[in-house]
Amino acid sequence: MIIYLRVLKESFNFAINALKNNKLRTFLSLLGVTIGIFSIIAVLASVDSLKSEIEDSISGLDNSTIFLCRFSFGPTDVPRWKWEQYPDVTYEEHMLLKKMMPNMKGISFQLNVQNESVKFEDKSIENVEMNGVTEQQTEIENMKIAHGRFFNESESNSGAAVIVIGDEIANSLFGSAEMAIGKKVRVYGRKLTVIGVMEKEGSGIFGGSKDTATFLPVNFMRKIFGDNNKSTFPFILIKPEQGVDNEEFIALLSSKMRIIRGIKAERENDFFVNQLQGFSDAIDSITGSMNVIGGIISLFSLLVGGFGIANIMFVSVKERTNLIGIQKSLGAKRRFILYQFLFEAMILAIIGGLIGLLLVLLGSIIATYVAEDFEFVLSLWNMFIGTAIAAAIGLISGILPAIKASKLDPVEAIRTGM
């Protein structure tokens, strides 16, 4: 065992000395691998960062959350002309499901409308997201209230003139979130009392932050827009209790909804049950495809780097033919010569890979700093992948030159070198 370790050590030292003595050749070899590793890891890190940002933007909702509406969130066999004629879900249907459906942690009727301005005295904020919801929205979505409270069931049912606002709105209109509670803002020409301010969330790459959003009782919004306004988008949001079988829950939900609407057995549903898990699976599928495509493109760069290392290693073998002959004539084994050139190729590739990783790390820091609302993620797994790929490229590129060097006849090698 000690002999093998000594052989490895001596082979490693020979490889390091060879690289030091040929600095320009070493640099050119490193360049190809560096670019290849940089390309692959940059693609992987970019896709991971994008996926993380998308997941963070929907992190307030659990994967089991169900959207009941007349639209499908994914591909469907139902022709567009048909589902465009489906009726919207209604507040009354939401109330019936609330009574009929078991094993629900929360159910909320939500009315999405166009953005509106929010005014306080002489101050005004334009293009504010308005969300009409029922009181159980807090049971479904991760909504953290920093000051005050969310509206209760009584206020939701009566359509009370109350509002919960985001942190950025509170700071813009009142100077601080604490000062907002109890103040009256004007929306849709009516005065609403601020009863809650949500915790600061920060904006994502796709927007949609609660910092610039408001939540109002849906029945207040229904008084403004009515129930048949085509500019609104109503849907029912449902979250099953933990541990409930989702497929059974969705089947039961569809059955209850068919009963409510009086749909006959031979007729198909005129509504869609969309689960957030399907959206998450779609994200995984898209990002997986992006990784594969980006990886294939980047592999061409690595291929060029690998050919560069192999070419330079063949040149190195030719230049050191005389030295190989002398080493063999003095008793050097084939494995010593093999390891010597193999290590040289692998060290070249690994150093190139580490430089590529360093460039990605610097790029990620700069990208995160420039794009304040986007965090560029470079995981340890991606760093490991980069190092492993670099080592593999070195091994593959160096194996043939190393085998050629180890098989040289000492006498012929010395004569050729002379």
Task: Please report which helix (H) or strand (E) contains residue 151, including its range.
Answer: none
Is residue 134 predicted with pLDDT exceeding 70? Answer: yes
Contacts by 6-13, CB closer than 8 A, 24 or more apart: 7/333, 7/335, 7/336, 7/339, 8/339, 10/336, 11/336, 11/339, 11/340, 11/342, 11/343, 12/339, 12/343, 12/347
Residues 305-320: what's their mean pLDDT? 74
Q: Which segments of 219-338 are extended strands (E)?
A: 233-240, 272-275
Report pLDDT digits (tens) over 321-359: 777 777 677 776 777 777 777 777 777 778 778 888 888
Answer yes or no: is 371 within a domain: yes
pLDDT band at 235 (very low <50, low <70, confident <90, very high): very high
Q: Do 211 and 318 sit in the same domain of this protein?
A: no
Q: Give yes or no for a contact between 394 and 71, defined as CB atoms under 8 angstroms apart.
A: no
Q: Do 149 and 227 sit in the same domain of this protein?
A: yes
Q: Do 29 and 132 sit in the same domain of this protein?
A: no
Final residue in a domain of this structure, among 222, 243, 264: 243
pLDDT band at 206 (very low <50, low <70, confident <90, very high): very low
Q: How many residues can be counted in the chain?
A: 418
- Average pLDDT of the chain, as a whole number: 80
Is residue 253 predicted with pLDDT exceeding 60? Answer: yes
Residues 242-265: what's their mean pLDDT? 90
Q: Do 110 and 207 sit in the same domain of this protein?
A: yes
Q: Please list the residues that pair with 217 across neighbouring strands.
A: 133
Give the per-residue pLDDT at 205: 45
Give the per-residue pLDDT at 53: 64
Answer yes or no: is 93 within a domain: no
Answer yes or no: is 318 within a domain: yes
Residues 66-82: what's their mean pLDDT? 84
Q: How far apart are CA 76 and CA 74, in angstroms?
A: 6
Is residue 207 predicted with pLDDT exceeding 60? Answer: no
Please provide residue 145's backbone torsions phi and psi, each rounded to the nearest 5 degrees. -95, 120
Report pLDDT digits (tens) over 121-130: 888 998 888 9
Count of the separate structural domains present in the chain: 2
Is residue 374 predicted with pLDDT exceeding 70? Answer: no
Q: Which residues have C-beta within 8 Å of that of residue 102, sequence separation ≥ 6?
A: 252
Final residue in a domain of this structure, among 243, 264, 292: 243
Q: Do 320 and 384 sit in the same domain of this protein?
A: yes
Answer yes or no: is 196 within a domain: yes
Provide the residue range defining the domain that includes 350: 2-57+282-417
CA atoms within 13 A on the CB side of 43: 21
Q: Do 296 and 376 sit in the same domain of this protein?
A: yes
pTM, 2 dp: 0.60
Answer yes or no: is 255 within a domain: no
The phi-psi region of residue 184 (left if phi > 0; otherwise alpha if psi is between -120 and 50; otherwise beta) is beta
Q: Do 143 and 44 sit in the same domain of this protein?
A: no
